Structure formats: structure tokens, C-alpha cells
Amino acid sequence: MFIVVIIVAFIALQFFQPEKNNQAIDNNHIFSSTDIPAPIQEILKSACLDCHSNQTRYPWYDRISPVSWYVTNHIEEGKEELNFSEWKRLSAIDKISLLNKICEETEEKKMPLKNYTAMHKSAKLTDKQIAELCNWAESYGMKIFKANL
């Protein structure tokens, strides 16, 4: 009887799914407001944008509650820290600060999160990709700084 209750509860949970994070890319997105080299765009797409933008590519397992709630929570937390879909709305100081944080977090291997790279192998950054990302972040940060002197 207990197993039947668990199965019925699990099935009932499937009718309660969180809202998906799939908005269209608009003019505030970093890709539409900045000339980003293709290799950096690929790094951002594979390792960052699912949790740090309004455009998440959902895996099959995200259709299953309560996993869907867990994933949605991670996305919401990620967007609170950095949302590339809102890039154009940020001040120059915020952009420079976030670019420095991107480099710091990836160099320290804090980002992308280990539980994310475990399920998304293409998101695991190589040392070369991290160096490319940091070089871009530094040069782009300098460009923003010089433009706002």
C-alpha cells in the first residue's frame, strides 16, 4: 500500500512543473550588444548561458518533478548572480566587476558547477578555454573602462 501511495504522489507531482526559462534573445543580451569572438560565444553557450541567461536548454530529466524544481532553483540563483540576457542594462562598473568574477570563478574551477558539468560534459572547461575566457574578459573589461573614462 505504501508503494502505491508513493507512486500516485510521484505521478501527481508531474502535473506541477515550474515555469521554463525560455525567453527570446533581445537587444539587452550580451550577444546582441557586444562583438564577442565565436570561440568565446561557444564557451558561454556551452558552460554559462543555461544558468546565467533567460535562454535555458533543458535536458530530458528536467521534465521530471522534483528534479525540475531543483534545476529551476539553480537557474534562478545563477541569474541573480549574473544574467547575460540583461547585460546591456548593467552599468560599466557592474560589467567590469562581473567580467573579473567570471575569470576568477572559472580559474578557481568554481564555475561551471560540478553538478552541472557532471550531466553536461561539454560544459567542462579546459585550461585553454579558461585562459581564452579570461583573456577576453580582461580585454573586454579594459575596453569598457576606456570607453567610460
Q: pLDDT digit string (tens) for 44-79?
A: 999 999 999 999 998 888 888 888 989 999 999 999
Burial of 131 by CB count in 10 Å (0-12 exposed, 13-18 middle, 19+ buried)?
middle
Higher pLDDT, 138 or 23: 138
Please give the Cα distance from 52 to 113 (Å, whole number). 12
Average pLDDT, the chain: 92
Query: What are the cell numbers at 82?
Result: 549574473
Residue 34 has pLDDT above 80, yes or no: no
Range of the domain at 30: 2-147
The number of folded domains in the chain is 1
pLDDT score of 13: 74
pLDDT score of 26: 81
103 pLDDT tier (thresholds 50, 70, 90): very high
What value does the mean pLDDT take over residues 121-143? 97
Please give the Cα distance from 38 to 139 (Å, whole number). 15
Burial of 102 by CB count in 10 Å (0-12 exposed, 13-18 middle, 19+ buried)?
buried
The phi-psi region of residue 109 (left if phi > 0; otherwise alpha if psi is between -120 and 50; otherwise beta) is: left
Residue 15 β-bridge partners: none
Altogether, the residues listed in the chain come to a count of 149
Higher pLDDT, 92 or 22: 92
Cis peptide leading into residue 37 (ω within 30°)? no
Higher pLDDT, 24 or 148: 148
Phi, psi of 74 (to 5 degrees): -60, -40
Please tell me the pTM assigned to this model: 0.86
pLDDT score of 25: 77
Residue 77, amino acid: E
pLDDT score of 53: 96
Residue 88 has pLDDT above 90, yes or no: yes
